[in-house]
Structure 1
Amino acid sequence: MKKQLIKLSNINKSYKNGDQELRVLKDIHLEVEEGEFVAIMGPSGSGKSTLMNIIGLLDRSSSGEYILEDTEVSHLSEKKLAKVRNHQIGFVFQQFFLLSKLNALQNVELPLIYAGVASSKRQELSKQFLEKVELTERMHHLPSELSGGQKQRVAIARALVNDPSIILADEPTGALDTKTGNQIMELLTALHREGRTIIMVTHEPEIAEYANRKIVLRDGVITEDHRKEVY
């Protein structure tokens, strides 16, 4: 039996707009097991990015319960949330979010610095994961000297370096051309085959096809949730 990593129960998210209350997520129930590759889809304004931010502990729900690896995280302090994020979640974003003055190796090291890992160990791990994403020869290059696909590979190496339980990918191919985007998706698929748990937001149906589970949100409600076999 696979381990349950995420359990969301009755998750609601609302924002105040003057006297009006905007409900973005409405009574969301979602469970994700270890080793799943989940694509979250939906039209603009459906709540998919808000849901991703709550799963990634970048935002809090207005109500409901979020259990992450047997820990109820909804009411943790900001300091404890930051520690959980650093150790248990790896992030891959559409715009990469690499620090422009740091080279690829130094960017990958960042989560390890926050985790208090010694310098020699940081370099060893960072080199190992840059090799994994086939960027060994570019590790001393600045982001400005890398292509979009190479930047995203650095971001994926950074997401992996702390060996997190979950990789969250928010529109990971959104800033890439089709060929490069497919290469990045093949890399994520290979990581999934190794047993990694990946949750991805995308608006592209062909990108969602790489996942083995598709969730569709409309108006803050999950309207579809189905799995497929991936060979």
Structure 2
Amino acid sequence: MHNDQSRKLIELSGITKSYKNGDQELQVLKGIDMTVYEGEFVAIMGPSGSGKSTLMNIIGLLDSPTSGDYELNETHVEELNEKKLAQVRNKEIGFVFQQFFLLSKLSAKENVELPLIYAGMPVGKRKELAVQYLEKVELAERMNHLPSELSGGQKQRVAIARALVNSPSIILADEPTGALDTKTGNQIMELLTQLNREGKTIIMVTHEPEIAEYASRRIVIRDGEITQDTTDSVRID
């Protein structure tokens, strides 16, 4: 729950996205305005084709809007070149995807180290941080296993450790439980909830209402527009 002291991490103003399809123009996002404050846990929901994945890709700097203004942690994104965008993405955003995207020939620990390699961190510090974050997701005893030797839930824990290892401002989770059974999915959501309690800002795309319930704010998108934005009243834990 944000108060007046909370910092704005993300401010989207009038974000549109269209694709050319022959001589047709397909408008996927139609003027999205959205502010996310530090420490929020936001679920973005909507039917297939609503624009929620496109919005997630724009927030994650994987795609750029056709028009509108995006400010991420006080940086105007549209002013950045490709190289700078990649640097900001690596520093500010940790990604968790439905399909895990672990490299099959690397151990759990080496997968977690990847963002730190891109960031140019020395090898000793890198290994230390990878172990620390695998401990955080309760997977240290599997750190030398390959992805093929891990269950779906364990793979997602590795992916979460990899997303956290750079201390990003935001965790972006795209259908993080989509490939998992219900029990394992709930364990992953408990882990994300715990990280949010510790202060991490989390933005998650999901089409499952029971998964969205874990978030404290739910934004519904239909036909490229926000149709609902509800925040839970303050929960006393």
Q: What is the TM-score of this pair, normalised by structure 1?
A: 0.99
In structure 1, what is the Cα distance between the partners aligned to 2:80 and 2:221? Answer: 27
Say yes or no: does 1:88 pair with 2:92. yes
Structure 2 residue ranges without an equivalent (≥5):
none
Could you say which residue in structure 1 is the equivalent of 2:224?
220
Could you say which residue in structure 1 is the equivalent of 2:130?
126
Match of 2:143 among 134, 139, 143: 139
Could you say which residue in structure 2 is the equivalent of 1:72?
76
Aligned residues: 231
Q: Tell me how far 1:74 sits from its aligned partner.
A: 1.8
Could you say which residue in structure 2 is the equivalent of 1:159?
163
Could you say which residue in structure 2 is the equivalent of 1:13?
17
Q: What is the RMSD computed on CA atoms of the aligned residues?
A: 0.5
**SS in structure 1 at match of 2:94:** strand
Aligned identity (percent) is 76
Q: After the TM superposition, which residues 181-220 of structure 1 pair with which residues of structure 2 at under 5 Å, given as runs? A: 181-220=185-224
Say yes or no: does 1:179 pair with 2:180. no
In structure 1, what is the Cα distance between the partners aligned to 2:141 and 2:73? Answer: 37
Could you say which residue in structure 1 is the equivalent of 2:52?
48
Please identify runs of 4+ aligned residues in structure 1 that moved more than 3 A: none
Q: Tell me how far 1:108 sits from its aligned partner.
A: 0.1
Q: What is the TM-score of this pair, normalised by structure 2?
A: 0.97
| Deviation per residue, 1:24-43 (Å, 9 max, x gap) | 00010000000000000000
**SS in structure 1 at match of 2:29:** strand
**SS in structure 1 at match of 2:80:** coil
Match of 2:34 among 25, 30, 34: 30
Q: Which amino acid aligns with 1:96?
A: F
Could you say which residue in structure 1 is the equivalent of 2:105?
101
Q: Tell me how far 1:170 sits from its aligned partner.
A: 0.1
| Deviation per residue, 1:96-123 (Å, 9 max, x gap) | 0000000000000000000000000000
In structure 2, what is the Cα distance between the partners aligned to 1:4 and 1:64? Answer: 17
| Deviation per residue, 1:39-70 (Å, 9 max, x gap) | 00000000000000000000000000000011
In structure 2, what is the Cα distance between the partners aligned to 1:213 and 1:36? Answer: 8
Q: Tell me how far 1:76 sits from its aligned partner.
A: 1.2
| Deviation per residue, 1:138-158 (Å, 9 max, x gap) | 000000000000000000000
In structure 2, what is the Cα distance between the partners aligned to 1:160 and 1:183? Answer: 17
In structure 1, what is the Cα distance between the partners aligned to 2:78 and 2:136? Answer: 34
Structure 1 residue ranges without an equivalent (≥5):
none
